[in-house]
Amino acid sequence: MIGFDLTQEQIALQDMAHKFAANEIRPRAAECDRTGEFPTELFGKAFDLGLMTGFIPEDLGGLGLSALDACLIEEELGWGCSGIATSMTANGLALTPILIGGTGDQKKAFVEPFVKTLHYASFCLTEPGAGSDAGGIATTAKRDGADYVLSGRKCFITNGSHASQYTVFASTDRSKGHKGLSVFIVPRSAPGVSAGKKEDKMGQRASDTSDVLFEDVRVSAANRIGAEGDGFKIAMKTLDYARPTVAAMAVGVARAAFELAMQYAKERVQFGVPIAMNQAIHFMLADMAMDIEAARLLTYKGAWLLDQGKRSTKESSFAKAFAADLAMRVTTDAVQIYGGYGYMRDYPVEKLMRDAKLLQIYEGTSQIQRMVIAKEIMMR
Ligand code: CAA
């Protein structure tokens, strides 16, 4: 059976996230965009409501929400401000590799503390020379007795300068390429760990994005998640989980732009009538509404497959690519409907357009999603 009705619990979660976005995120969004401030007090309130721990299983103290539940919440947070939402969601990305590949003891040691008090974790995959080519990681982890010694530089790391724990992908055997990658949990307090330059981004400016450096950092072998060589597959499975969430955020950004554009089109009078009376504007608004619905349905399908324990690689990439590209289109058209005012910082739509651009780049560019889809449909 196919049903599109949400349960009462899902409606309540969606409503709670919407109220948080409307009452807490939106009032702070423009200022954080202007200043690049990381709104710590806002994250404290989100944490208290369970909005940052929902993905953690109940036996570790979290809410044990499904992937679909997480997407319902994420759409609302993205509607509020995708920069703030990105930083709110980064713990999920960083801790998922542990939930996928960690032992019971590792989950207790490295995930459970994130339910108790608010702190941040970062997913450290990307490097200056390994962006789309995630298998090309140059950071090394050399075995030394009961420890590993990590050396390398990660870049574009969400919450990198605020994190107390890093999930670090490193090569334990460079001769094996992606099959030589392994994943380690590294505490910020370990000697040799430092956060580098904070990036000055075009959009999503409330989220923190920085370099993280590892200089001869020693961690116990007990901090390795999975076996040596499991790192690449753990990273890919994590991205399968994360991409529908990014898609949901993109739907939220697009919905925000669509609502503003429709409202403005009804109010803005030119040639004696509201511009909404023009068929040219009707068609733009109709396309926006149609594409937003299509992106939302692709997102739900990807999340639903994950909740069934099924492989969702193709559907996660369908959702991520379609929704990110749609968010870019819708926000650009919203600026167009606002005309000259849309280009000015005094009006809200130019921020949405700048924010949307990052959705087409992070967690795999729109082009990488198409590579994943092509491989899935032709070779697997
Ligand atoms: N699940 C399980 N296994 C998978 C998998 C998946 N989804 N995808 C691939 N694999 C396996 C393959 O089966 C293959 O296994 P074998 O070695 O046993 O044959 C292995 O992994 C290698 O797969 P590919 O040959 O497909 O690997 P590739 O080198 O061609 O690269 C890629 C694939 C999809 C392009 C990958 O490199 C990729 O996703 N790149 C983008 C990286 C990315 O998204 N980075 C974002 C960083 S996170 C971020 O942005 C967060 C933030 O802070 C904002």
Atom 51 (ligand 1) nearest CA:
363
**Amino acid of residue 286:** A
**Could you give the dihedral angle defined by the CA atoms of residues 352, 18, 100 and 316, in that order, rounded to the nearest 10 degrees?**
-50
380 has pLDDT over 90:
no
CB of 236 shorter than 6 A to ligand 1: yes
Mean pLDDT confidence for 311-329 = 98
Under the banding of pLDDT at 50, 70 and 90, the label for residue 168 is: very high
Task: Please tell me the number of Cα atoms within 13 Å of 4 on its side-chain side.
Answer: 5
119 has pLDDT over 70:
yes
Q: Which of helix, strand or coil describes residue 246? A: helix
197 has pLDDT over 90:
no
2 has pLDDT over 90:
no
Mean pLDDT confidence for 184-199 = 96
For strands 181-187 and 224-225, give the pairing. antiparallel
CB of 159 shorter than 6 A to ligand 1: no
How is residue 364 written in tokens?
């795999």
137 has pLDDT over 80:
yes
- Average pLDDT across the chain, whole number: 97
- % of the chain residues with pLDDT over 90: 98
51 has pLDDT over 90:
yes
363 in catalytic set: yes
Q: Which of helix, strand or coil describes residue 204? A: coil
Mean pLDDT confidence for 185-196 = 97
- Separation between Cα atoms, residue 364 and residue 247, nearest integer Å: 12
Under the banding of pLDDT at 50, 70 and 90, the label for residue 3 is: confident
Output the furthest CA–CA distance in the chain (Å, rounded): 80
1 has pLDDT over 80:
no
CB of 162 shorter than 6 A to ligand 1: no
298 has pLDDT over 80:
yes
